[in-house]
């Protein structure tokens, strides 16, 4: 992945900065580097992902289909099929490079894992296979989208799910302001110590924001995420929030209109 300290642009293109930073996920070298070390800068990924997989397994109904919003290189599916060997998953992603890696990683599961190539910025136009979608999830994806697109994705997932339905949302969240930035720094320092990792999110809020801009990230605060989730119709519960990473359960209740 791009390192914060270097800020050198795409791998193989020193100093470059594409017009659309989301295009970094179309770069095969970039995607391959990320795939080889997805926990770089986020030592909580494995632990929070384990909890997310437990939630999916506990709420999965045999015969239904699981939806992955931003399925990427199939890393999550690889672990998911270890817990639910007979599950069916539909993934939606816009990067051909990521989809190619997923197909290679999940070779032999073509009947269980289907990918829909579509840009999440225009997710309403996506054509999913007809199925009974009771569980959906998204891992470190939606913060890559513009704010309005994030709202639309939440509303779209709500419409896709049956009742009751569950959307497990694991993502980066924004630091709400300069006055609280030092609190996040304390969290990151502890994570570095406990997990023997390196987290470089910046020494100040402006530096942190510059890092996000260079990555093409637009995370919302926890409060903003909870609001757009509720506005979409979900009942939201922040199950695991540590620093700027959050796992949120979004429930489409039986009583929902």
pLDDT, tens digit, 9 for 90 and up, residues 8-64: 222 233 233 333 445 666 666 666 665 656 666 799 999 999 999 999 999 999 999
pLDDT value at position 215?
A: 84
pLDDT value at position 216?
A: 85
Q: Check if the beta carbon of residue 90 is closer than 8 Å to that of residue 131.
A: yes
User: Any idea what DSSP says for residue 206?
Assistant: H
pLDDT value at position 15?
A: 32
Cα–Cα nearest to 106, from 78, 138, 65, 87: 78
Report the C-alpha gap between 198 and 99 in whole angstroms.
Answer: 29
pLDDT value at position 12?
A: 30
Per the omega criterion (within 30 degrees of 0), is the bond before 164 cis? yes
Give the dihedral sign, CA 138/53/88/133: negative
Q: For the chain, which residues score pLDDT lower than 70?
A: 1-40, 257
Q: Check if the beta carbon of residue 204 is closer than 8 Å to that of residue 93.
A: no
Q: How many other C-beta atoms are found inside a 10 Å radius of the C-beta of residue 33?
A: 16
Report the C-alpha gap between 237 and 137 in whole angstroms.
Answer: 14
50 CB contacts (<8 Å, ≥6 apart)? none
Task: Tell me the H-state helices in the chain.
Answer: 28-36, 45-59, 75-83, 96-105, 147-160, 178-195, 205-215, 222-232
Domains with residue ranges and CATH for the chain: 45-173+221-252 (3.40.50.150)
pLDDT value at position 13?
A: 30
pLDDT value at position 4?
A: 33
Q: What is the pTM of this model?
A: 0.87
pLDDT value at position 196?
A: 92
């Amino acid at each position: 992945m791009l390192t914060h300290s270097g800020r050198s642009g795409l791998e193989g293109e020193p100093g470059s900065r594409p017009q659309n930073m989301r295009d970094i996920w179309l770069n095969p070298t970039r995607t391959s580097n990320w795939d080889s070390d997805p926990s770089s800068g986020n030592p909580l990924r494995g632990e929070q992902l384990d909890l997310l997989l437990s939630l999916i397994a506990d709420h999965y109904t045999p015969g239904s289909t699981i939806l992955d919003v931003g399925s990427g290189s199939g890393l999550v599916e690889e672990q998911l099929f270890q817990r639910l060997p007979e599950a069916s998953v539909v993934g939606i992603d816009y990067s051909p490079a990521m989809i190619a890696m997923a197909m290679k990683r999940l070779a032999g599961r073509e009947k269980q894992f289907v990918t829909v190539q579509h840009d999440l910025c225009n997710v309403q136009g996506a054509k999913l296979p007809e199925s009974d979608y009771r569980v959906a999830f998204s891992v470190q994806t939606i913060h890559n989208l513009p704010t309005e697109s994030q709202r639309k994705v939440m509303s779209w997932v709500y419409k896709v799910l049956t009742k009751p339905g569950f959307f497990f949302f694991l993502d980066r969240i924004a630091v709400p302001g300069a006055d609280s930035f030092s609190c996040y720094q304390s969290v990151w320092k502890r994570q570095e110590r406990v997990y023997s990792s390196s987290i470089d999110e910046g020494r100040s809020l402006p530096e942190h924001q510059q890092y996000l801009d260079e990555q093409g990230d637009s995370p919302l605060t926890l409060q903003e995420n909870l609001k757009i989730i509720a506005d979409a119709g979900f009942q939201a519960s922040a199950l695991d929030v540590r620093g700027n990473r959050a796992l949120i359960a979004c429930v489409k209740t039986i009583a929902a209109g």
